[in-house]
Amino acid sequence: MRGWWQIVAMAMALCAPAAPPAAARNVVIFVADGLRPGSVNAQDAPTLNALREQGVSFGNSHSLFPTFTTPNASAIATGHYLGDSGDFGNTLYTGYRMFDSGNFAHRAAASIVNIENDAVLGDLDDHFEGNYLGEDTLLALARDNGYSTAAIGKLGPVAIQDITQLSPKDGRFSVPHTIIIDDATGAEAPPLDAEVLAALNAAGLPAAAPRRAQSAGTSTSAGTHDTNSAQQQFFIAATTRAVLPLLQRRGRPFVLVYWSRDPDGTQHNQGDSLNVLVPGINGPTSRAAVHDADDNLRQLLEYLRADAALAATTDVFVTSDHGFATISKHDIDARQHASASVSANANYDDVPAGFLPPGFLAIDLARYLQQPLYDPDRPAQDADGTPIYQRLDAGLHPRLGDGLIGGSGRALDHTDADVVVAAGGGSDLIYLPQGDAPRARRLVSFLSGLDYVGALFADDQYGALPGALPLSSIALLGASKLPRPAIVVSFRTFVVGNDLQNAVQIADTALQQGQGMHGSFGRDNTFNFMAAIGPDFKARYRDPMPASNADIAPTLLRLLGVQSHSHGVLVGRVLEEALQGPAGPAAAVEHCLALSGPAADGRRTVLEYQRYQGRLYPDQAALRVVLQQERTGCRGR
């Protein structure tokens, strides 16, 4: 009979991470949040520009729609499209009242929540069986196979890279096995272990991240003229002076994700263009933010290249989660026509006359349905102390754009609202908690007639709805654990001139006209920056094939020699053509067009996309009149 110590040793061996392959690579993923390919040049971004020239340049790259940060963070982390991960936007309807179990000592909050927050992500994990995404992440798989892992940078997408590490124990965070350093480190974030704390201290760095100090301004005062440089510099210093040296001392290969908040954060909040569309996000403050992100990459590459053995065994993949555009709250096209909607023609104390207020979609829907509108971001109490949400009557708009339409306005564990609007910016998500098919049809009919709507997609369960394409047409129908939106509304986009750098989009946000936003379905938002360099990638190669953020994890897992175990089937591909060695014969890239049925005014949602190796690469979508020569289907090229 075996002794107890032998049984314990066997159990520990079974639970221990597997040893990495003998010739294992290190992998670094560098995400420049919101970086547009057109912003990369020798002056503003010399490091990114050189990497694109010297390594693989993915010139046909794609962000996943909706083009928000956390959806694309989930794709980068798991290699799955959003229909599987359920991460449909930065702001989601969760289907339950957040923190209802008391996690992190939070009071219960609304079921519409922004998930760029570690505590929110932890509560989602707790509610959805320890992993709200439902899929393994690259970092988790690497960690289970003996690699050291770390994720550093922007709050939200960083923790998503190894999401199960946020699942709370006894209502609070445990020390994660992956090193996680983000905006909330030192506050409400997963704690750092003693080894990491010692490394930070030895490097002369604090154990808490500096706060971001950028004002978004108001409709009468400009936003920031400063980049996020202090926080950015802390993250890159923590990476190069503490974390990377620690990972090397461990003597195991590593996978590191570095997520630069800029240029995204500064493009959102810049004050170069208050209430006007020019220069928009092309002003000096946004360009300085691009340069700061580029400088972070420079410092990271210099660290790797200072050690010849490290450089020879490390692959670097650079991406951005999405593109960007300048916000319009007034102009709905390049001819400066204003919106004729009810919301744009009402009076608000903090919104210029004729401009769309935050929550314009929820306001217009509530008026159309003739039902009360409540703001889930304005909690209150009724006379007997029952938690409720503020009812928004004339002259009031949702604080952040979110809205509960119909019902009692009470803060219930499961909302009694008939319609839930989760506002995101360039797109909004509409949920129908009761699954009301006639209401879905009515809403799509109404939405297709609004002048600020750019494209419509509706849940397949409601059948063919005139003016809308099904969610399955853009891979939003899959194995998601989270509630699926009934309707996804992308707002209108247009380009001033012919340069995507001058793109403009209507945005449902508290930000101002002239500042920056993303989330829509213009090519300006789906076109992200992607490039790679290292021993396993070709040198000076321009990849013409379509690629997306969902293809990164499958490609890097191949290089790590690690197998994934998918639950859903909406997965990206290995970017074989970009890797060293002979590539198999290239399949044809199909260029495709999908059309919805006509709305009452004859317009249809038109989706332009590419298809390659069975994968979907949406380019853009618009609600417009279809030309006679346009036909549905695909053609090879």
3-state DSSP call for residue 428? Answer: strand
Average pLDDT over residues 441-463: 98
**Euclidean distance between CA atoms 35 and 39, whole angstroms:** 7
C-alpha separations of 357 from 348, 362, 507 in Å = 8, 10, 10
Q: Are 447 and 360 in contact (CB under 8 A)?
A: no
Cα dihedral 51/52/55/61 (nearest 10)? 130
Q: What share of the chain in percent tops pLDDT 90?
A: 92
Give how far Cα 291 sits from Cα of 42, 262, 398, 459, 629, Å: 10, 9, 35, 41, 44
Per-residue model confidence as pLDDT tens digits over 121-151: 999 999 999 999 999 999 999 999 999 999 9
Q: CB under 8 Å to 170, separation ≥6 — which residues?
A: none
What domains appear along the chain, each with residue ranges and CATH number?
Answer: 26-79+135-213+227-323+527-578 (3.40.720.10), 331-490+504-513 (no CATH), 590-636 (no CATH)
What's the average model confidence in pLDDT over 204-215? Answer: 96
pLDDT 10s digits, 85-111:
999 999 999 999 999 989 999 999 999
* Across 568-593, average pLDDT: 92
Q: Does residue 3 have a pLDDT over 60?
A: no
pLDDT at 538 (0 to 100)? 98
User: Is residue 423 over pLDDT 60?
Assistant: yes
Amino acid in the structure at residue 511: L
Helices 284-305 and 46-54 cross at an angle (nearest 10°) of 60
Enumerate long-range contacts of 72-75, CB under 8 Å, 24 or more apart.
72/157, 72/321, 72/322, 72/528, 72/549, 73/156, 73/157, 73/160, 73/161, 73/259, 73/321, 74/133, 74/160, 75/548, 75/549, 75/550, 75/552, 75/553, 75/572
pLDDT at 615 over 70: yes
pLDDT at 18: 61
Q: How confident is the model at residue 20 (pLDDT cuts 50, 70, 90)?
A: low
DSSP H helical ranges for 163-317: 194-202, 229-237, 244-250, 264-269, 284-305, 308-312
- Dihedral of CA atoms 265, 126, 567, 424 in degrees, nearest 10, equals -30
The total number of residues written for the chain in this structure: 637
Q: What is the pLDDT of residues 225-269, one digit of tens each?
A: 999 999 999 999 999 999 999 999 999 999 999 999 999 999 999
How many angstroms separate the CA atoms of 242 and 9, rounded?
Answer: 33
Check residue 134 and give its pLDDT: 98
At 256 the three-state DSSP class reads strand
For residue 270, give every residue at least 6 positions away whose Cβ sits within 8 Å of its Cβ, in sequence order, or none: 223, 224, 225, 281, 283, 285, 286, 289, 515, 516
Q: So what's the pLDDT on residue 383?
A: 84
Residue range 502-509: average pLDDT? 98
Query: If 0-12 CB within 10 Å is exposed, 13-18 middle and 19+ buried, where does residue 7 land?
Result: exposed
Residue 1 above 50 pLDDT? no
The distance from CA 342 to its chain's CA centroid, rounded to whole angstroms, is: 30
DSSP state of 358: T
In the 3-class helix/strand/coil scheme, how is 575-616 assigned residue by residue?
A: CHHHECCCCCCCCCCEEEEEECCCCCCCCEEEEEEEEECCEE
pLDDT of 22 over the 70 cut: no
What's residue 614's pLDDT?
94
Alpha carbons 363 and 355: distance in angstroms, whole number: 13
User: The pTM is what?
Assistant: 0.96
Task: Specify whether the CB–CB gap between 596 and 466 falls below 8 A.
Answer: yes
Average pLDDT, the chain: 95
φ, ψ of residue 82 to 5 degrees: the values are: -70, -25
What the block records as the tokens of 354 is 């004729």
**Mean pLDDT, range 543-549, rounded to an integer:** 98
* Residue 604 or 18, more confident: 604
The candidate with the shortest Cα–Cα distance to 165, out of 141, 215, 130, is 130
Answer with the residue of higher pLDDT: 7 or 43: 43
Contacts of 101 (CB under 8 A, 6+ apart): 123, 126, 127, 171
Is 11 a residue whose pLDDT tops 90? no
